[in-house]
């Protein structure tokens, strides 16, 4: 079985069940990835893990070197990557605690190094991004989740915001009118860079709060941490099931 790449987000800086074999520092033309790559096995299946926000969760979403992270994965031969993401829920099915595999993206980020096709090109290149996530990998995640009896919502539009602040009530209302179901800060340019590199990429999103204005009162880190703690175990089980499938 081809090794699975996993990019961990908030609440997933380590994969507890991973038997670690080695760490490798990869240098890329775009600088350093967020951390050394961790090579290991999940129930015997090879996995390469990279914590998006660094090993100590110190890199904020707008400072992540997305280009180096995806390049490093490709450099070590990874062809399938699951990006784990904590998100805020906008529409009713995306209540805190829900796991989802989005099928669309709207990019509201700005000023990030968002492409590998930037300079020194033989010719201008435009990737197809009609369906931004790899349908094969989305299907593998959903099937693996069914196999371990964990509920995972199929589909939804991920709205990627710049952060690190959370959104205003009006911003979330606009995103809902735009068709977004969840909001997160790291989904782009990660998905687009994966496509540029020919990596089959999908997102496993865990809703950890209602987005701004969707519940009474402010969003607290306590609420987010509680849902991260409660949900990451299920997410890890799904990831292990995908790796082992």
Torsion sign over Cα 56, 59, 60, 66? negative
Of 22 and 165, CB closest to ligand HPA = 165
Reading the block at residue 3, the tokens are 């090794």
Stretch of residues binding ligand HPA (CB under 6 A), selected from 12-20, 41-49, 116-124, 181-189? 181-189
Cβ closest to ligand HPA, residue 185 vs residue 188: 185
Report the distance separating Cα 101 and Cα 84, nearest Å.
10
At closest approach, how far in Å is the CB of 96 from ligand HPA?
9
Burial of 55: CB neighbours in 10 Å, binned 0-12, 13-18, 19+: middle
Among 15, 26, 211, 239, binds ligand HPA (CB under 6 A): 211
The CB-nearest residue to ligand HPA is 88
106 binds ligand HPA, rule: CB under 6 A: no
**Nearest residue to 183 (alpha-carbon basis) of 103, 112, 85, 101:** 85
CA distance 218 to 228: 18
Pairing of strands 80-89, 182-184: antiparallel
Stretch that binds ligand HPA, among 62-70, 119-127, 207-215, 234-242 (CB under 6 A): 207-215
Query: What is the size of the binding site for ligand HPA (CB under 6 A)?
Result: 13
Which range of residues in 106-114, 146-154, 182-190, 193-201 is near ligand HPA by CB under 6 A?
182-190
């Amino acid at each position: 079985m081809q090794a699975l790449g996993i990019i961990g987000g908030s609440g997933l800086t380590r994969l507890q069940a991973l038997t670690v074999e080695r760490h490798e520092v990869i240098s890329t033309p775009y600088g350093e990835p967020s951390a050394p790559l961790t090579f290991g096995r999940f129930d015997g299946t090879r996995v390469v893990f990279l914590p998006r926000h660094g090993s100590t969760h110190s890199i904020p979403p707008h400072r992540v070197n997305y280009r180096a992270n995806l390049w490093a994965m490709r450099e070590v031969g990874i062809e399938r990557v699951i990006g784990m993401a904590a998100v805020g829920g906008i529409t009713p099915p995306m209540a805190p605690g829900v796991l989802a595999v989005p099928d669309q993206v709207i990019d509201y980020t700005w000023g990030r190094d968002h492409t590998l096709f930037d300079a020194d090109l033989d010719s201008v290149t435009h990737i197809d991004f009609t369906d931004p996530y790899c349908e094969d990998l989305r299907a593998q995640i959903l099937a693996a989740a069914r196999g371990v009896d964990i509920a995972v919502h199929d589909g939804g539009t991920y709205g990627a915001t710049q952060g690190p602040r959370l959104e205003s009530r009006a911003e979330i209302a606009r995103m809902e009118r735009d068709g977004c179901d969840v909001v997160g800060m790291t989904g782009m340019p990660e998905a687009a860079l994966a496509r540029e590199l020919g990596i089959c990429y999908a997102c496993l999103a865990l809703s950890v709060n209602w987005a701004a204005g969707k519940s009474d009162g402010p969003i607290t880190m306590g609420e987010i941490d509680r849902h991260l703690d409660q949900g990451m175990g299920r997410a890890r089980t799904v990831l292990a099931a995908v790796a082992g499938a």
